[in-house]
Amino acid sequence: MASGTPNRSPGRPTPSQARAARRVRRHRRKRLIRYGSAIAIATVSFIFIIGLFLPGASLGGGGQSGGGLFGGGAPDGPGERIDEAGRGHISVGAAPDPYTSVPATSGQHYASPLAPVRWGVHNDALEPEEYVHNLEHGGIAIFYDCPDGCDLIRQQLTDLVDEAVKNGGKVLLAPHSGTGATVSVAAWTFIDQFDFFDEDRIRAFVNSHESSENAPEPFAR
């Protein structure tokens, strides 16, 4: 005789059991998504923090992404802020108005094609009228002042500048007399000077000021 209860295969879940299983699966998927998102955010944050503080972090190239390691803005350091001395163009042979620092961090300078000079390492000294145009474009000028010679420091600076230029950075290196310091790092209206090679200090200055909005033309090359 037929029964009023439908036949069910042995081991087959009841409708209530099936609904409960679906709820468990949905809960697991949501939990995995939350965990995955949290891990992704933590990873990105960790990489960003490492990029800021790791001494070997990439040097220069801020102009490729809109200004410095921090992606733009007008940083208030590192380095000493120097009063701006103007940014007008002068002709060759004309005497510029007095600069406000040595090395210069702003002021009158030559126009194209005499300046800006090429990025990278220069073996001969540059005139302020030349390299100030580079600073106006958001570049960094690194100088060494070694009356008695400093081959090791010069090579260490050369390696850093080569790295920066390889990364697309607007950085140059040249000898410069009369600075009062062994190493000088200059940006538009900012300077840092010290009597030894300090890689972390140089990287911090370059990554903060290269292509920053402190410069009048930060996106120019």
CATH for 191:
3.40.30
- Range of lowest pLDDT (41-50, 58-67, 138-147): 58-67
Residues 156-196: tens digit of each pLDDT: 999 999 999 999 999 999 999 999 999 999 999 999 999 99
Please check whether residue 217 lies inside any domain of the structure.
no
Same domain? 176 vs 107:
yes
Residue 9: predicted pLDDT: 55
The pair of three-digit structure tokens given for residue 42, joined into one six-digit string: 């933590």
Q: Which domain holds residue 28?
A: 16-54
Domain identity same for 205 and 106: yes
Closest CA to 136 of 88, 188, 185, 86: 188
The residue-averaged pLDDT of 38-53 equals 56
Predicted pLDDT of residue 27: 73
Both 43 and 110 in one domain: the answer is: no
Whether residues 77 and 149 fall in one domain: yes
Using the structure block, give the residue that is written with the tokens 């600073």.
Answer: 135
Question: Are residues 129 and 48 both part of a single domain?
Answer: no
**Does residue 116 fall inside a structural domain?**
yes
Let me know if residue 160 belongs to a domain: yes
Is 57:50 a contact under the CB 8 Å cutoff? yes
pLDDT band at 38 (very low <50, low <70, confident <90, very high): low
What are 154's strand-pairing partners?
A: none
